[in-house]
């Protein structure tokens, strides 16, 4: 997770007439994921990586409903012993 205030600009998939903007700043560590969603036509409406204090989230609109996906922190895997 990135530090609070570290952001990258993401292009939105909605036209400016709908969303009021064409680009928004997003937490740098999840900006590529948010950009990919928008590139595939998913109308994202908000995002936060959680900054190592809480799970991150990306909110989006689907079929007129507000939805949210959670971004869980990385977990270290214990190597399997053979």
Provide the number of structural domains found in the chain. Answer: 1
Give the model's pLDDT for residue 27: 93
- Who wins on pLDDT, 53 or 74? 53
Give yes or no for residue 79 having a pLDDT over 60: no
- Find the domain containing 64 and state its range: 7-71
Residue 2 lies in a domain: no
Residue 78 lies in a domain: no
Give the model's pLDDT for residue 6: 81
Residue 82 lies in a domain: no
Residue 77 lies in a domain: no
Which distant-in-sequence residues (6+ apart) come within 8 Å of 71 by Cβ? 30, 33, 49, 50, 55, 56, 57, 58
The reported pTM is 0.78
């Amino acid at each position: 997770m990135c530090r609070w205030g570290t952001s990258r600009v993401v292009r939105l998939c909605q036209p400016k007439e709908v969303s009021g903007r064409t680009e928004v700043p997003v937490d740098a560590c999840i900006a590529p994921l948010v950009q990919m969603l928008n590139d595939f036509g998913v109308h994202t409406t908000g995002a936060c990586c959680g900054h190592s204090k809480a799970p991150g989230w990306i909110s989006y609109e689907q079929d007129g409903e507000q939805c949210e996906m959670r971004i869980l922190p990385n977990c270290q895997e214990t190597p399997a012993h053979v």
